[in-house]
Structures are given as structure tokens and as C-alpha cells.
């Protein structure tokens, strides 16, 4: 470029027009006057080329400027829109403010005094028939230290009793409704016409139905009366374990059942029991998330195992709406049976870290931990941990507690 004539870079003017400097030679209409001299001719050609280049560059500069200008306008409009939306969202979210973390000053003492829901799997009944009696009841339940909730649940609170049967057993369900409104019970372990078995039971009445537990796994049961979202969120859910035939699962030394669920509160529940908040439930913005109905209860009261024992977790995610990403901190699942498929030993995954248990589904997870210590189990979707879905597996005789 050093031998070329000086060229002023074209710039957009303030009104967007471009003043591209014309080449120093050439006529107004761009034709080149004839010259005898080769050097003059060459010069003319070079000048023309430069002129075209400058015009082209100018054109692109204009386009880029216009583009940038438009982009800036669009960005400004979008920003205005976003800040307007954010202002609206803030006020909407204000109405859905989470009460997670609400606690009285003696929360720690209350957590220590709380009698945890037994996570130990009860024995399956002997014989060909498993009789299961369930009673629905309107009860106030404790869902976190000092936090009361006005539930529609079971005689023993929420979740309902852990039911344990063996594959092939006939399960005879008797449901008694001691609540104020109609309820029902839907067993995911059953292959049965729901309109026949899962119908509403009027207050004060009982119904019975049977199903054969032909499918092994861990399954949810729940009230299926409309609005189901509300009946589940109010505490009407539980787990049934169906043992597979021998040979599918390795023998476990410890069996723990955890039912994951969410709570949507109308108030903090500290003075008076909170009630269900449908807006939060629709927005899937729970206040508390729990294993077996009470936030962090196995942090204060850890589940236990000896070093080297095979510990089996039977997980049901009752939802009503949020999945559980089950993970045990400090170890890896030796065997994981996603979706609680126990149809054969080959259903297992091995050496995996975190497995999703869907809302309305189950999962079975084996860990074998050699080193003594405190191993948190969590839903690794970590908002769930902040809202209470965390517990500890205490391996060996170790002191203290921890949160994660």
C-alpha cells in the first residue's frame, strides 16, 4: 500500500451517509482517459481498482453501522422488555415466596427430639396372601423442625406405611377413609382396571381389592382422587416393595426405604399448620422437600451400617412433580436398578454415581462402603438439599453429624 496514493478510509457521517473518497484519477463516470504512457495507464487502473475498493468498503461500513445501530435498538427494546418482565416476575414470585428455612429458635432441639420415620424395610408376611390395611386420615404432620402442615394423610402421617411383599403374593388391600372427603388408593405395583379398583371411597367407608404382585421392584401408591396433585401433595402416598424371586438381587445386609416428596405451603407453618398452595404446586416451587416426610431427619438421626456391609436403598419418588437425582456422597453405586426394574440381574447398572428416580417411579441402589464415615445421601438437584432432601448414612462407629 506504500506505493499507492493516500486513501482516506470512508466513515459514516452522523446521519448515516457515507462519503467515500474518490480516487485521485478517473472521470466522474468512472471511465479512464487514454494515456500513451504505460505507467500512466497502470496508475489509472490501480486508481480505479482502489476507487472501487473504497466504494465497496464504504458500502460494507455503512451496512455494518446500520446493522450495529439496529442491533443496539433491538437490544435496548429487549432490555426494556426484560426489566419489565422481571418486575412482573418479582411481584409474582413474591406471592410464591418460599418458606424453606423458616424455623423456630429451638429448631435444633426439635430436630433432635423428632422421632424419625423408620426407614428400615419391614419383613414381608409369610404365606401366599399379604393383608394390607390402610387408613386415610386428616392429620397435622410435622414436615421440618417446628413446621406443621395440615395434611390429608394416613393414620401414621405421611408417607403411609411401608408395605413389603414377595413377588407372586396376592396382595389384599383394605382402605378405610376416616377423612372428611372422598379418597382412593392407586397401587403402581398392580395391573388392574383402575376404574374398578381405584375408585373413590366415601368418608367413613371401606373398600377392598386384591392384586397379585407379579412385578418385582419398589412402587408408589397414592390417593388418585381429583385433584390428584393436591391429594398427593397433602401426604397421600407411600411405598410398596415387591421382593424379586431369589437370585435377582445380591443379599443385602441393610435395607432402607426412602420416599421422596415435596411440600407446597400457604404459610410458614410455625404458629398454625400450613395448608396446600396450588400456585406453588403448579409452578413446582416447593417450600420443603423431604425423605419420608420430614426435612433432614436422617441428618440428626443417621441411618447406619457397618463397614463393608451391602446397604440397599429402595427409593420411591412420590413427587407430586419433581424428580429425585439420587446420589450418595463419597461412594458410587455398586448396583443400580433404574426405575426399580428387578426383572433380572442384568437390569442393573454398575459403578454409577447418580440415578434419576422419576416422580411416580422407583429405583433400587446398592452401596458397599469400606471406610467408616458419614456419607450424605441426597437428591443431587441441589435446591432439593437446601429444602431438606438430605440424610446421612453413618458407616461404622463414627462421631458427630454433618450437613452437605
- Binding residues for Cu ion (CB under 5 A): 183, 186, 223, 225, 231, 236
CB of 71 to Cu ion, least distance (A): 50
Minimum CB distance to Cu ion smaller for 203 or for 250: 203
Shortest distance, CB of residue 239 to Cu ion, whole angstroms? Answer: 12
Q: How many Cβ atoms from other residues are within 10 Å of residue 321's Cβ?
A: 19
Nearer of residues 238 and 273 to Cu ion, judged by Cβ: 238
Nearer of residues 62 and 175 to Cu ion, judged by Cβ: 175
Choose between 225 and 277: whose C-beta lies nearer to Cu ion: 225
CB of 159 to Cu ion, least distance (A): 14
Query: Min. distance of Cβ 278 from Cu ion in angstroms?
Result: 15
- Which residue, judged by CB position, is nearest to Cu ion in the bound state? 223
Least distance from Cu ion to the Cβ atom of residue 368, Å: 32
In the complex with Cu ion, the residue whose CB is nearer, 175 or 274, is: 175
Kindly state the smallest distance separating residue 93's Cβ from Cu ion, in Å: 29
- Between 154 and 313, CB nearer to Cu ion: 154
Q: State the residue for C-alpha cell 428416580.
A: 357
Q: Which is nearer to Cu ion, 85 or 181 (by Cβ)?
A: 181
Minimum distance, C-beta of residue 228 to Cu ion, in the bound complex (Å): 8
Amino acid at each position: 500500500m506504500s506505493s499507492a496514493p493516500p486513501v482516506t478510509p470512508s466513515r459514516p457521517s452522523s446521519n448515516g451517509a457515507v462519503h467515500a473518497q474518490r480516487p485521485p484519477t478517473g472521470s466522474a463516470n468512472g471511465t479512464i482517459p487514454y494515456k500513451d504512457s504505460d505507467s500512466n495507464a497502470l496508475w489509472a487502473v490501480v486508481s480505479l481498482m482502489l476507487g472501487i475498493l473504497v466504494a465497496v468498503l464504504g458500502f460494507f461500513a455503512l451496512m455494518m453501522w446500520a446493522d450495529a445501530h439496529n442491533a443496539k435498538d433491538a437490544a435496548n427494546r429487549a432490555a426494556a422488555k426484560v426489566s419489565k418482565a422481571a418486575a412482573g416476575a418479582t411481584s409474582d414470585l413474591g406471592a410464591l415466596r418460599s418458606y424453606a428455612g423458616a424455623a423456630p429458635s429451638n429448631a435444633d432441639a426439635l430436630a433432635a427430639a423428632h422421632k424419625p420415620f423408620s426407614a428400615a424395610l419391614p419383613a414381608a408376611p409369610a404365606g401366599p396372601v399379604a393383608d394390607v390395611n390402610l387408613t386415610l386420615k386428616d392429620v397435622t404432620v410435622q414436615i421440618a423442625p417446628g413446621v406443621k402442615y395440615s395434611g390429608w394423610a394416613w393414620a401414621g402421617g405421611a408417607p403411609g406405611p411401608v408395605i413389603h411383599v414377595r413377588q407372586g403374593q396376592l396382595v389384599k388391600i383394605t382402605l378405610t377413609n376416616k377423612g372428611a372427603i372422598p379418597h382412593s388408593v392407586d397401587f403402581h405395583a398392580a395391573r388392574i382396571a383402575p376404574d374398578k379398583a381405584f375408585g373413590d371411597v366415601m368418608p367413613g367407608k371401606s373398600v377392598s381389592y386384591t392384586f397379585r404382585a407379579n412385578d418385582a421392584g419398589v412402587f408408589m401408591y397414592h390417593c388418585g382422587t381429583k385433584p390428584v396433585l393436591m391429594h398427593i401433595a397433602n401426604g397421600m402416598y407411600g411405598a410398596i416393595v415387591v421382593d424379586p424371586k431369589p437370585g435377582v438381587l445380591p443379599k443385602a445386609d441393610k435395607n432402607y426405604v426412602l420416599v421422596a416428596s415435596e411440600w407446597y405451603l400457604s404459610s410458614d407453618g410455625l404458629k398454625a399448620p400450613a395448608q396446600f398452595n396450588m400456585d406453588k404446586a403448579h409452578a413446582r416451587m416447593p417450600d420443603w422437600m423431604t425423605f419420608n416426610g420430614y426435612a433432614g431427619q436422617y441428618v440428626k438421626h443417621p441411618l447406619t451400617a457397618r463397614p463393608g456391609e451391602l446397604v440397599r436403598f429402595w427409593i420411591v419418588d412420590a413427587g407430586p412433580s419433581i424428580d429425585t437425582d439420587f446420589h450418595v456422597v463419597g461412594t458410587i453405586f455398586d448396583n443400580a436398578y433404574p426405575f426399580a426394574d428387578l426383572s433380572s440381574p442384568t437390569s442393573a447398572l454398575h459403578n454409577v454415581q447418580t440415578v434419576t428416580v422419576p416422580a411416580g417411579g422407583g429405583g433400587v441402589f446398592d452401596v458397599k462402603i469400606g471406610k467408616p464415615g458419614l456419607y450424605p445421601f441426597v437428591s443431587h438437584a441441589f435446591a432439593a438439599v437446601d429444602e431438606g432432601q438430605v440424610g446421612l448414612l453413618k458407616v461404622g462407629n463414627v462421631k458427630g453429624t454433618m450437613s452437605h
